[in-house]
Chains A and B, each alone.
Chain A
């Protein structure tokens, strides 16, 4: 199946600054894909290129099989939440959304605009002026416009930044509901949120892809796990001798880190074997973490701004 979005050795420069350097990755149709990295990593540039706002220097980008700047009859059905784009002034929210719905090809633009506002829990914002909206409400209005036209691909740049916890949870719930129905690409610094929503992740750092794969691959869920030991003697030699175990380390704080061999049996089987040995020795275990957190992985593979 063709990728919903593909970048093939894409480079983008702003003057002498290289924002993206031979970036290649693909997004599977119907998946939720996270785009992460420190500030200045190139996430917003990647979004701008995918949405057709920016022109790449070199390389090829395909969005739903089309060129991203194609706005012809067979243009890619895109919904975009741009980062830090003000809503246009002088018109009320309802008129703006209706106008955008019309351009998005909605047969009944006003009805579609009202539905979009309801989906972001803002039915009362119809007559509001964009200038009078708080940052969080404006963000949700911008999210509503991204949903117009039943887009097959949604590009959401920081969809929950600036939202209060309740609004952020509502947006997450909305995005969870879209899983499987359409492809969603999210850029966010909230890595715990991405871990909950996404199937796959691309990590950018200084304009380069430093990690790309499914969430399980990136967080190495199949390759390592750790146990928090509160009491008891850990039989390290016995654990190291278990099939599929490549390395076992016990930290002074009681964290037992187990790394699996490349040809190991499924991680669940190795975990069961390790637990069996520990419980038989009366070792008390308070937590099991499979893989690393996304946050830890991002910290491991990026060097910061």
Chain B
């Protein structure tokens, strides 16, 4: 069997398992419910702003988004076309997405190594196919979840503001989904790496959350140094550290076309590196 068919076979089985896993279903439900609740609260808060017209809402939105997510000025133009609720809630989802992904997939390989059940796969499939199949299954679930969230948000947004241009509104939804999916790809790969390196679900989750914290810290240290520099302080090599963290590219998902493409490319690169290392580790290790 070719590696491609092996991967598809593992993906298919893994998807079935994922959709019958109570923990995963509860997590998906929790993510959907919390998105809906945040949407409801922010919808009530932003309703008044949206009622004052697109320009006022966009100006307020740019301030809020700039403060919360560091969205660049170029993003204001395309965000002004959207009800404020949409980027705010999606931004909140993106903030929690890395942790959610860690909780969703930390045991994809580590639990199977711990219980020995990975041996039933490892005896008949390439290690790379096992890793890729499990990763793809998680990616499909995340892709569908994001599609549902984006569709729900944009549908709710359409109810808040009249006179939206359908084609550009749908295009904005597609942009949000693509950006979110790219971010999810990068963090899913990090989760796959954590799971491939460890032999118990607990240590996998610990490593994954530790890596998230480490990347957040890297981004925070680099951003602070950059801010000091911008405010007239001296330049520091630590400024550039932030670009080594996936966190640095999250705001670009909501940004202008250029920053969105930069973010997508960055998450693709992070994902490829994480998956490459995961493959090398899983291929070499004892199971």
Query: Contact residues of A with B, CB < 8 Å?
Result: 48, 51-55, 71-72, 78-80, 82, 84-91, 95-96, 99-100, 102-105, 142, 145, 149
Q: List 28 A-B contacts (CB under 8 A).
A: A52-B122, A52-B123, A53-B287, A71-B125, A71-B127, A78-B123, A80-B119, A82-B116, A82-B119, A84-B116, A85-B115, A85-B119, A86-B115, A86-B116, A88-B17, A90-B17, A90-B20, A95-B13, A99-B12, A99-B13, A100-B121, A103-B6, A103-B10, A103-B121, A103-B125, A104-B124, A142-B120, A149-B124
- B165 contacts the other chain (Cβ, under 8 Å)? no
Instruction: Give A97's nearest chain B residue, CB to CB.
Output: B120
What's the least CB distance linking B15 to chain A, in Å?
Answer: 11
Contacting pair B112 A53 (CB below 8 A): no
Instruction: Give B121's nearest chain A residue, CB to CB.
Output: A103
Instruction: Give B283's nearest chain A residue, CB to CB.
Output: A69
What's the least CB distance linking A301 to chain B, in Å?
Answer: 29
**Given known A-B contacts A88-B112, A103-B6, A103-B9, A54 and B286 have beta carbons under 8 A apart:** yes
Contacting pair B123 A85 (CB below 8 A): no
- B16 contacts the other chain (Cβ, under 8 Å)? yes
Chain B positions within 8 Å of A79 at CB level: 123
Contacting pair B123 A102 (CB below 8 A): no
**Which applies to chain A's interface (DSSP): helix, strand, loop or mixed?**
loop
What's the least CB distance linking A280 to chain B, in Å?
Answer: 60
List 19 extra interface pairs beyond A85-B116, A85-B117, A142-B120, CB under 8 A. Answer: A51-B123, A52-B122, A53-B123, A71-B125, A71-B126, A71-B127, A80-B119, A82-B120, A85-B119, A86-B115, A88-B112, A88-B117, A95-B16, A96-B13, A96-B120, A100-B121, A103-B124, A145-B120, A149-B124
Query: Contact residues of B with A, CB < 8 Å?
Result: 1, 6, 9-10, 12-13, 16-17, 20-21, 112, 115-117, 119-127, 284, 286-287
**Given known A-B contacts A53-B119, A85-B117, A100-B120, A90 and B9 have beta carbons under 8 A apart:** no
Chain B positions within 8 Å of A149 at CB level: 124
**Which applies to chain B's interface (DSSP): helix, strand, loop or mixed?**
helix
A48 to B119, CA, bound (A): 9
Chain B positions within 8 Å of A105 at CB level: 1
Chain A positions within 8 Å of B112 at CB level: 88
**Given known A-B contacts A51-B123, A52-B123, A102 and B117 have beta carbons under 8 A apart:** no
Query: Of A53, A72, A95, A142, which one neighbours B122 at CB under 8 angstroms?
Result: A53
What's the least CB distance linking B167 to chain A, in Å?
Answer: 42
Chain A positions within 8 Å of B20 at CB level: 90-91
Contacting pair A91 B13 (CB below 8 A): yes
Contacting pair A102 B122 (CB below 8 A): no
Chain B positions within 8 Å of A102 at CB level: 9
Query: Of B6, B120, B126, B284, which one neighbours A88 at CB under 8 angstroms?
Result: B120
**B16, B17, B123: most-surrounded residue (chain A CB, <10 A):** B123
The 8 closest A-B pairs by CB, nearest first: A85-B116, A86-B115, A99-B13, A90-B20, A103-B124, A71-B126, A82-B119, A90-B17
Chain A positions within 8 Å of B124 at CB level: 71, 100, 103-104, 149
A78 to B119, CA, bound (A): 12
A85 to B12, CA, bound (A): 22
Instruction: Give B119's nearest chain A residue, CB to CB.
Output: A82
Instruction: Give B115's nearest chain A residue, CB to CB.
Output: A86
**Given known A-B contacts A82-B116, A87-B117, A100-B120, A53 and B13 have beta carbons under 8 A apart:** no
Contacting pair A90 B117 (CB below 8 A): no
